[in-house]
Structure 1
Amino acid sequence: MEETRLPNMPRRILPIGIQDFEDLRRKGYLYVDKTALVWKLVTEGKPYFLSRPRRFGKSLLITTLKAYFEGKKDLFDGLALGRLETEWKAYPVVHLDFNPSRYDSVASLNYFVADRLEKFEKKYGVPSKGGAIESRFQNLIEGIYEKTGRQVVVLVDEYDKPLLESMDNEGLNAELRAALKPFYGVLKSADTALRFVMLTGVTRFSKVSIFSDLNQLREIGMSETYAALCGITEKELVETFTPELEALAQKNQESFEQTLEAVRRNFNGYHFAKNSESVYNPFSLLNTFANQEIRYYWFATGTPTFLFKELERTRFEIIRFKDHIEAPESAINDYQPGDGTPIPLLYQSGYLTISGYDQETRTYRLGFPNEEVQYGFLNNLYKYLFPAANGMNDLDVWTFIKALRSGETDTFLTQLKAFFASVPYDLYFEKGEKYYQTIFYLVFTLLGQFAESEVRSAAGRADAVVKIRNLVYVFEFKLDKAGSAEEALRQIDEKGYLIPYSAGGHRLIKAGVVFDTGRRTLGDWRIQEA
């Protein structure tokens, strides 16, 4: 076996795609030390459940626990846990990872689980009794305990993979939940034979018995103590990756502070508890440093079509994304298939995060964590809602931005008129004002990738403000049945929409625009420079 490399070795190898702790440590990859929290976990509790978005380090956490319970002390040299642990007892470990397989039937689920259980039966010399997977699971745990005289550690990675995979098939999803219910229920009935249990997943499916039957299970998904167990804090980012940040700054001819702000804006912002510090998406960070370029790496690994379908099924108003979404804790921490809200899935999948908390009403405020999620989600949502328009592609965006940078407001509105006309009139909600509001919100928000763009609808705020270079545009839109372009211009003046921008030395342009509901695009407009 390869000798463990020293923690302070000169090579800097980024652990992109490395999910096994032993592999990471033996081959000398960079590691952000989370083992103080791991030691706290193993010494303060027994059964845990942690929910985190995909590619946030859940598998690395599980394999870190596996290495610890197998007594591989050398892997922790130089880490916090290596200093904290003194006994180093080895325990039998049953590690079930649901990631590798696909689950298109209960039979495929049973086959996968039975195959994994068979490997542990052979490893520990436990005779298989066959039968249902839950009976076999219980027999395995109790058999190992009896043979070794040591309690068993059970680590389950992505416990909900079969359920997430079948989100768009309600019948299959219900069958898989029914099959998993007694299987995970074993973790309660076999409690005396268990030393430690950890399950990870994206979503807390409340109808799976692990949450209703295993009442001693400690859920740490919204724990302030463990908020940074997966993900990277800014302190960890600077302490561990300063050379990579400096190299990125040099390539982009920016200062270190400018580069850090760009990385922060794109990948930071996840809050997993009401008073916790924010964490960065580790997958996007590592890929940014490896490629020396800021792109939307996390979002590119999977378009959340199942979430878009859930938005459609629940008739969720897209315009709600423009402000903070308010919800009680039960509405973000407990997903039940068939409920009338997609909010738990949006939060637990990482597309929304905690942005505030009202102690008096015990209500959370949710919003997009960062620009990667906001722009990636909304652009793909646009493609889902309007497949014939094929989303806001780069040509659309740069055509709009070029006109705005040049102060060519009339050209911009003409281009926007043509774009609106290309959008199919097939939104899932009732036709009318919401149709225009949704397209309007998506278009102007996506322009915000390249210009400072705000979309508001509350009284006293303009419908849209775009700030680009030394120009500030203030737009007010009206349906043709509700007012004229001249009235929209007067509203900008009467409501004082330009006042917040009048002291900055900017060139101010106001535009009153009317939606032509018959042609489903822009109609008349009037432009004035202040």
Structure 2
Amino acid sequence: MLNLPYGISDFYKIRSEGYDYVDRTHYIPAVEAFGKHLVFLRPRRFGKSLWLSTLENYYDLAKAAEFERLFGDLAVGQNPTPRRNSYFVLRWDFSLVSPQGEVAEIGQALHAHINARIQAFAQTYQQWLKHPITILPENAIASFESLLAAVHVSPHRLYLLIDEYDNFANEVLMSRVREGSEHYKALLYGEGLLKTVFKAVKGGSSGLGIDRVFTTGVAPIVLSDLSSGYNISESITLLPRFSQLCGFTQAEVSALWTQVADGCDLPAEARVEPLELMRTYYNGYCFNMEVSEPIYNPTLTLYFLKAFQEGRAAPRELLDSNLAMDRGKITYIAGLPNSDPVLASALDDERPPVIEALARSFGVADVIDQPKDERFMVSLLYYFGVLTLDGITEMGELRFRVPNLVIRSLYAEQLRRHVLPPDEQRTASDAARALFHQGELQPLCEFIETTYFRALDNRDYRWANELTVKLAFLTLLFNDRFYIVDSEPAIERSYADLTLLVRPDMRHYALQDALLEFKYLPLSDLGLSGEAAKTTPRADLAALPLVQTRLAEARHKAEGYRATLQCAYHNRLRLHTYVIVALGFERLVWVKL
């Protein structure tokens, strides 16, 4: 059985207590050679803190005697750099600084955190320090300067590690509270405390004791507002050679899965589907322009493997609750003016989000005060990990996509909440259940006609046509507890509009599979008014020549997709196939094949 380090970001604990470790130490020489003040941005729970802990243990002179035990069998242990175990190491974690309260309270929390780390530093390195460090409870900047003075007169230099440097800004961003904005400005603008902290770091790097700084975070917001306070850093965030610094590759996940499967004594035929389930739900992140091999979210991967190892089955909930708060980031974008097209394009594989370049520099004033354009929204969704790079278009623009189904579920959930109040969401769930349980589409179609389309009347959805209809069904039917739900799944190099295939581990239930193909007709093409469309019997609408033509077109495509799916799944599917024509946003006509 694997000893999986789920939720553990302490390298020393992982190596000392026998946890399995996916080696990332081969990146240490490259990071060391690249520069001395580096910034690395990745989404939450992507392994950034573990990477900083790895650097901390590698460079810490107090751990020199433990180097062989900690690193001997790892890549860097076979070929260590000359700087290993040669630094004093100080680590700050700004996620531990509470952003709540008034400015003075937030400032005191920051002072307290920095002072606590300086106090621990003084105790750890007391045998190497000949100059005392003075801790001033109300002035962490002075405490830090005292630390630098002690380091300066020693033969060793300081390696400063800053984790979650932008945590406070992200809290402000998610709350969108004006008071929070003013608190942020007080800390970061002018001679604000946080800016003063980074000015002290910059000053300490000018021959006063600091040799290296490695900073992690999620977005480049704070760096922009620091401006001259800390303008000596280099970002390695988008460099191809560091694209897999955090996250798991397919080979690494396959190797971990093989060990889990061996420990569970799984037969060969039972090993393929769980690995494919992980690929579908957790893989797909790309962090460089060339779009190299996509990588897995490491936290979600370990969550799945640990659950499978414990219960010999995939977890029923494929979204780890520790990452569920990422929905708040989509909620923030959804609350911005003109955000609907951006969120809809994220779920549209045919017309995904495209922008000229990522916004790499924007301050909190841009976040709070300025109008939000598509570039801003797509860039934030990328930094938050709910969009990822998907290549460069023939016109040189950046193309993005939702990385995997676990993130797609967050979009579907947000769009559903954005359109429907809670009581109508429950009605929608009942209508969807008729398709899941009996393969019956009528309750859902009637709900969309009478409720969902009516909700669109007061929202900015009229820019879309067939996509709007497809999104209505996708958002109402998305259920990753039981289904692999895909919009535009590739089927022999062509695309079906929407498929719902029962998860392999849930196929023992009497759930039904579904394939839906959509067409859209504007009412103007039919010569109908909205009122006429509402009052005309459905059978009469279906008999209209143009509707018959669209039904025939959809039928032709759906029949081909259905045959391909049945062949691929060896007729194991309980497949219900429907073709659906939307008549404006008033009525639906459908035929079951």
TM-score class normalised by the smaller sequence: 0.7 to 0.9
TM-score w.r.t. the length of structure 1 is: 0.82
1:111-147 CA-to-partner distances (Å, cap 9, x unmatched) read: 122123323544433224677655554x145323224
One of 154, 172, 182 as aligned partner of 2:196: 182
1:428-468 CA-to-partner distances (Å, cap 9, x unmatched) read: x5475669965751532553653665369xxxx99955576
1:381-530 map, 5 Å: 381-389=415-423, 391=425, 395-403=430-438, 405=439, 408-417=440-449, 420=452, 429-430=459-460, 432=462, 438=468, 440-445=470-475, 447=477, 449=480, 450=483, 453-454=486-487, 464-466=497-499, 472-478=515-521, 480=523, 483=526, 485=541, 486=544, 489-492=547-550, 496-503=553-560, 506=563, 509-514=578-583, 522-523=586-587, 525-528=588-591
Residue segments in structure 1 that go unaligned for 5+ positions in a row: 1-10, 517-521
One of 225, 233, 239 as aligned partner of 1:217: 233
Distance change in 2, residues 1:503/1:381 (3 Å):
closer
One of 47, 55, 58 as aligned partner of 1:57: 47
One of 342, 345, 348 as aligned partner of 1:320: 345
| 8 Å CA contact retained: 1:357, 1:365 | yes
- Of stretches 113-122 and 183-192 in structure 1, the one that deviates more from structure 2 is 113-122
Q: Larger % of helix: which?
A: 2
| Alpha-carbon offset, residue 352 of structure 1 | 0.3
| Alpha-carbon offset, residue 281 of structure 1 | 0.7
| 8 Å CA contact retained: 1:379, 1:391 | no
One of 374, 393, 409 as aligned partner of 2:408: 374
Distance change in 2, residues 1:466/1:41 (3 Å):
closer
| Alpha-carbon offset, residue 265 of structure 1 | 0.6
Distance change in 2, residues 1:477/1:505 (3 Å):
closer
- Letter matched to residue 512 of structure 1: V
| 8 Å CA contact retained: 1:231, 1:279 | yes
1:195 aligns with 2:208: no
Equivalent residue, structure 2, for 1:329: 357
Distance change in 2, residues 1:242/1:152 (3 Å):
same
Tell me how far apart the structure 1 counterparts of residues 456 and 562 of structure 2 sit (CA, whole Å).
41
Equivalent residue, structure 2, for 1:272: 287
One of 54, 59, 67 as aligned partner of 2:57: 67
1:32 aligns with 2:90: no
1:75-94 map, 5 Å: 75-85=70-80, 87=82, 88-94=84-90
Tell me how far apart the structure 1 counterparts of residues 378 and 141 of structure 2 sit (CA, whole Å).
32
Residue segments in structure 2 that go unaligned for 5+ positions in a row: 123-131, 309-313, 502-511, 527-532, 534-540, 564-575
- Letter matched to residue 354 of structure 2: E
1:35-46 map, 5 Å: 35-46=25-36
Tell me how far apart the structure 2 counterparts of residues 515 and 224 of structure 1 sit (CA, whole Å).
46
Distance change in 2, residues 1:204/1:283 (3 Å):
same
Counterpart of 1:342 in 2: which secondary structure?
A: helix
- Letter matched to residue 104 of structure 2: A
| 8 Å CA contact retained: 1:464, 1:474 | yes
Percent identity, aligned pairs only, is 20
1:262 aligns with 2:277: yes
| Alpha-carbon offset, residue 107 of structure 1 | 2.2
- Letter matched to residue 302 of structure 1: M
Tell me how far apart the structure 1 counterparts of residues 46 and 379 of structure 2 sit (CA, whole Å).
18
Please tell me the root mean square deviation across aligned C-alpha atoms, in Å. 3.5
Tell me how far apart the structure 1 counterparts of residues 418 and 143 of structure 2 sit (CA, whole Å).
43
1:465-514 CA-to-partner distances (Å, cap 9, x unmatched) read: 557678644332446566364366245257x4444444466486433333
| Alpha-carbon offset, residue 152 of structure 1 | 1.0
| 8 Å CA contact retained: 1:76, 1:82 | yes
| 8 Å CA contact retained: 1:51, 1:200 | yes
- Of stretches 409-418 and 193-202 in structure 1, the one that deviates more from structure 2 is 409-418
1:173 aligns with 2:184: yes
Counterpart of 1:198 in 2: which secondary structure?
A: strand
Tell me how far apart the structure 2 counterparts of residues 430 and 240 of structure 1 sit (CA, whole Å).
46
Equivalent residue, structure 2, for 1:154: 160
Distance change in 2, residues 1:499/1:478 (3 Å):
closer
Tell me how far apart the structure 1 counterparts of residues 476 and 461 of structure 2 sit (CA, whole Å).
23
- Of stretches 309-318 and 227-236 in structure 1, the one that deviates more from structure 2 is 309-318
Tell me how far apart the structure 1 counterparts of residues 43 and 444 of structure 2 sit (CA, whole Å).
38
Distance change in 2, residues 1:29/1:446 (3 Å):
farther
| Alpha-carbon offset, residue 238 of structure 1 | 2.0
Counterpart of 1:377 in 2: which secondary structure?
A: helix
TM-score w.r.t. the length of structure 2 is: 0.74
Tell me how far apart the structure 1 counterparts of residues 499 and 546 of structure 2 sit (CA, whole Å).
17
1:140-162 CA-to-partner distances (Å, cap 9, x unmatched) read: 45323224332111101101111
One of 227, 236, 251 as aligned partner of 1:235: 251
Between the two proteins, the alignment pairs up a number of residues equal to 501
